[in-house]
Structure formats: structure tokens, C-alpha cells
């Protein structure tokens, strides 16, 4: 059956479930405060592109060997990640929604679409700017309605004689970046064991922890109360689980990936620290600055200058970012905790700092100070409501608000996700085309660099490329 867009041919559509023989009864997993705040947020969308070589690249091997092994290992993986095979529901007698897996419900399971594309694989995985809409052909939709929402959906796309991709769309109330990384690593681990005829067991660090009791106050959360604080003017069915519409911004837009090597980051760091001594001679400068701080400061200043260069009326900018709270709560949360454990916050920049001549220093300093403050003062619930209020205020004041996708971490080692068939060539965070966000992740070369994914208006992208490359040469 051929689809009507971008020369995509749909081969099969499965619902993959865990081995049901080991599941005796319905399981429920509560949503914490950290999950509920993302309930209406648009899904996270990623693609993992793999190169195939020699006999592995032939379509017959793909459909007869690779697909069955990916499907079987996915089923085994779901046995460890059982809630992901269920769906989010919100019964009328419950104060909040929860994830439910019922082995007797035929609608349970993870949607898996098998697709073939005639797109140029090398063009698709290239870093150079290309049409933003192209990669949307390789990710699946996520079902949601008033009564339920899927946790995840998958699409595997073959590029004949070249490679394949795994597109993953996840519900943000179920996954954060660390949780998604754990799931993909577990799936890849079990797929390799199937190929090698080993006993399909997981490494201890990949065994997910779904115990919500370790998050303080989990059972007291009233979802309607939380959501009404986040969106006090929201109308309609307050109990609806339908994901809020957020259309991708694809018209006249390009998608590209830029890299900062370890040497580039060191150069930016030295520049920022030298400015620190000039602007704050009586204040001790930090001993080091993280890759996250340096990457955000440098790339977002380049974007702000490019946007202002194309649209002069856009001159006020702000940054909201998220941090992992697992080690920052009153009682530390184990690193294998599965679910959301993120908190966002704005940095305390002035409206025009991003396009200031010393913007990279000013933004880097503000990010550093905000993270330092959170580390010292800790996390408290009301912070999230303040953030949503501030977002609305800045939006009404016509600020361009930057975000960071990928949970702001380059420590997930995504390029080590090997399913046993070929090298991972590219990881793309597709959902950055829904707002003004950068995709942030580790570099494929594994030498401490970072990759930055962008979707920008084509004129802005041209100007950004100039600022980005010239700045590295000049610093």
C-alpha cells in the first residue's frame, strides 16, 4: 500500500506487546507532579539513522532478518518496561490520570509501522541545511483523545541498499530524555543478544524503576488543580487527555546540524572567562563551565543575531531550559528511575542581552548563575507555576523564547545505541520544529564535542551559519 506523501510505502503495521504468558493482571503506574505538568505538551520525536552494508543492505535481509529481530527484542524489552505497552487513562473517579496496562485489552501494545522510502539516504542524514519537512516522513503519530493517550509509537523505515531509521514518538508525561535513552539502550541490548543467541537479560543499570513512591507527595497530586494553575484560562474538557495541537513550523524552513568540537568549546570557554575578569574583577570566576552552558550561550546568541538581522522588529529574547532533578531533590532519586524528573527555569538575562556585542559572555554567566542557585537552594513545586506565568508574560511582550530539547544533556551517549546491524550515523530531534528550540546532544566522534540541531527560516539559517562559523574563527 503506497501512501500519498514523499514516496513512502507502508508495508506493515503491528501492535507489539510483551510476552503475555508472564503477565497475570492489570498494572497501573501513577503519574507524579513532574509527569502531570507535561500532560498536554506536544510529543517528543526522535529518529535514529543506521547505515547498512553488504548483504545487510538488501531489502530481503531487512524484512526477513532485521525486522523480526527488532520486533522480537522490542517485545522482550516491553516485558521490563511494562507501562509503555499500556496507555494513559483518566477514569471519572480519579483525581489524576495514570498509566494502565491490561493484558486482556486488545488496544494495548506499542504501535510499530514498517515503511520503505525512496529518499536519498545520504541527503537525509546530512548535516547541511535541507527542507525541514523531509524527516517528518520518518516518524509516527502518537494517538490521543479525550479518554486515552498512547505512551509511545514507533516507525522503522528502510532506505533500500543504504540503511534504515527508527523513529520514536513519545508522550512527554511518560518520558523525559534520560528515560527515553534508557529504553533505547535496553532495546538495543536485547536485540544484540537475540542476534548472538544469548540469554536475553538486561544489564542492572538498564532495569527501569517505576516506583512512584520515591517521589514525595505523588499520591496527593490533583491533576485538574495542577493543570488549571499551568493554564488558568484553558477551556473545554479539563479531564481530556488529548494532546494540545502544536503544528510544526515547516514553511520556508530548513533543518540542519552544527557541531562544536572539544577545541571549539575550550575556545568559547576561554573567551567567556576572560570577559568574566573584565566585567567582574572583584568576583571569582568559575573554575570551569559545562558544555551545556557554552553551547547554549554561543549558539543561541548566533540565532538571536540572525533572527534580528532578518526581522529587525524581533530584538527581545529569553531562554528557558530544563534540568534533571534526580540528584537535586530532598531525597536523591536513583539514576534508573523511569519517568519525568525535570524542572524548567528562565535565566535572568535582560531583553537585549542575546544580541549584545558581549552576548555570549552575558548569557553564559546567567545560565551558570541560575544553575548554581538551583543547586544551592534546591527544588520546590511552586517554581514550575512561576515559570509558566513568566512564559505567558514574556510571550505577550513579544519575546522570542528559546528552548533546549534533549533534556539539555550530552551525557546519554546516544551514538552507542547499536542494534547489531550497522553504525548509528545520525540522531535527529525532529520535534524542535514545533518551537524555537535547539536539539542538544553528544557528538558522534565521541571526543567530547556536541551536536546542535536547528530548524530555522531559510534566511535566518543562512545568516546563522555565517555568524556561527565566523565566531569560531574569531574567538
Query: Which are the catalytic amino acids?
Result: 172, 418
* Alpha helices (H) in 160-285, listed in sequence order: 177-195, 223-230, 262-279
Output the DSSP codes for 402-426.
Answer: EEEESTT-S-S-GGG---SSS-EEE
Contact of 48 with 165, CB cutoff 8 Å: yes
Cα–Cα distance between 368 and 289 in angstroms, integer? 8
Q: What are phi and psi of 177, to 5 degrees?
A: -60, -40
Give dist(CA 183, CA 168) in Å, integer. 11
Yes or no: say if 427 and 415 are a contact pair by the CB < 8 Å rule.
yes
- Residue 117 in contact with residue 159, Cβ under 8 Å? yes
φ/ψ of 342, rounded to 5, equals -120, 150
CB 260 within 8 A of CB 134: no
> Contact 384/227 with Cβ under 8 angstroms?
no
∠ CA(415), CA(342), CA(175), 5° rounding?
Answer: 55
* Angstrom distances, CA of residue 351 to CA of 271, 304, 310, 356, 397: 22, 11, 18, 10, 10
Q: What distance in Å separates the CA atoms of residue 253 and residue 392, rounded to the nearest whole number?
A: 25
Rounded Cα distance between 116 and 19, Å, is 28
Long-range contacts of 362-368 (CB under 8 A, 24+ apart): 363/296, 363/297, 363/300, 363/301, 363/319, 364/272, 364/289, 364/293, 364/294, 364/296, 364/297, 365/272, 365/276, 367/292, 367/293, 367/296, 367/297, 367/319, 367/321, 368/286, 368/289, 368/293
CB atoms within 10 A of CB 398: 10
- Cβ proximity of 448 and 292 under 8 Å: no
Q: Are 114 and 156 in contact (CB under 8 A)?
A: yes
Classify residue 330 by its DSSP letter: S
CA 439 – CA 171 distance, rounded (Å): 17
d(CA 427, CA 125): 9
Amino acid at each position: 500500500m503506497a501512501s500519498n506523501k514523499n514516496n513512502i510505502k507502508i508495508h506493515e503495521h503491528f501492535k507489539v506487546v510483551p510476552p503475555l504468558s508472564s503477565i497475570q493482571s492489570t498494572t497501573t503506574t501513577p503519574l507524579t507532579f513532574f509527569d502531570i505538568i507535561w500532560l498536554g505538551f506536544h510529543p517528543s520525536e526522535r529518529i535514529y539513522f543506521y547505515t547498512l552494508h553488504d548483504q545487510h543492505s538488501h531489502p530481503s535481509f531487512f524484512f526477513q532478518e532485521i525486522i523480526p529481530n527488532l520486533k522480537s527484542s522490542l517485545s522482550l524489552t516491553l516485558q521490563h518496561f511494562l507501562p509503555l505497552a499500556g496507555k494513559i487513562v483518566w477514569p471519572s473517579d480519579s483525581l489524576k490520570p495514570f498509566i494502565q496496562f491490561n493484558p486482556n485489552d486488545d488496544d494495548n501494545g506499542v504501535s510499530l509501522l514498517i515503511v520503505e522510502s525512496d529518499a536519498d539516504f545520504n541527503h537525509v542524514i546530512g548535516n547541511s541545511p535541507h527542507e525541514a519537512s523531509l524527516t517528518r516522513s520518518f516518524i509516527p503519530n502518537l494517538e490521543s483523545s479525550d479518554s486515552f493517550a498512547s505512551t509511545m509509537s514507533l516507525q522503522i523505515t528502510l532506505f533500500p541498499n543504504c540503511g534504515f531509521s527508527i523513529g520514536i514518538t513519545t508522550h512527554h508525561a511518560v518520558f523525559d530524555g534520560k528515560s527515553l535513552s534508557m529504553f533505547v539502550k535496553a532495546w538495543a541490548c536485547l536485540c544484540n543478544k537475540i542476534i548472538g543467541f544469548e540469554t536475553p537479560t538486561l544489564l542492572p543499570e538498564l532495569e527501569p524503576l517505576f516506583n512512584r513512591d520515591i517521589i514525595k507527595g505523588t499520591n496527593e497530586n490533583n491533576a485538574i488543580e495542577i493543570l488549571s494553575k499551568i493554564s488558568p484560562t484553558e477551556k473545554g474538557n479539563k479531564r481530556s487527555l488529548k494532546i494540545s495541537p502544536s503544528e510544526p513550523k515547516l514553511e520556508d524552513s530548513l533543518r540542519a546540524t552544527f557541531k562544536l568540537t572539544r577545541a571549539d568549546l575550550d575556545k568559547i570557554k576561554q573567551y567567556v572567562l576572560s570577559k568574566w575578569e573584565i566585567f567582574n574583577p572583584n568576583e571569582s570566576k568559575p573554575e570551569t563551565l559545562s558544555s551545556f552552558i557554552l553551547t547554549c550561550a554561543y549558539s543561541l546568541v548566533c540565532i538571536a543575531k540572525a533572527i534580528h538581522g532578518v526581522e529587525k522588529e524581533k530584538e527581545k529574547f529569553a531562554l528557558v531550559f530544563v534540568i534533571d532533578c534526580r540528584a537535586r531533590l530532598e531525597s536523591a532519586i536513583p539514576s534508573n528511575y523511569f519517568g519525568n524528573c525535570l524542572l524548567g527555569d528562565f535565566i535572568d538575562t535582560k531583553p537585549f542581552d542575546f544580541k549584545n556585542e558581549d552576548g555570549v559572555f552575558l548569557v553564559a554567566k546567567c545560565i551558570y548563575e541560575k544553575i548554581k542557585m538551583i543547586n544551592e537552594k534546591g527544588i520546590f513545586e511552586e517554581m514550575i507555576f512561576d515559570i509558566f506565568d513568566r512564559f505567558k508574560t514574556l510571550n505577550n511582550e513579544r519575546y522570542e523564547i528559546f528552548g533546549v530539547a534533549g533534556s539539555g544533556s550530552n551525557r546519554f551517549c546516544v551514538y552507542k545505541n547499536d542494534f547489531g546491524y550497522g553504525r548509528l550515523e545520525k540522531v535527529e530531534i525532529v520535534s524542535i520544529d514545533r518551537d524555537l528550540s535547539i536539539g542538544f546532544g553528544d557528538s558522534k566522534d565521541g571526543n567530547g564535542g556536541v551536536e546542535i540541531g536547528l530548524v530555522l527560516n531559510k534566511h535566518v539559517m543562512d545568516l546563522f551559519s555565517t555568524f556561527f562559523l565566523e565566531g569560531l574563527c574569531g574567538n
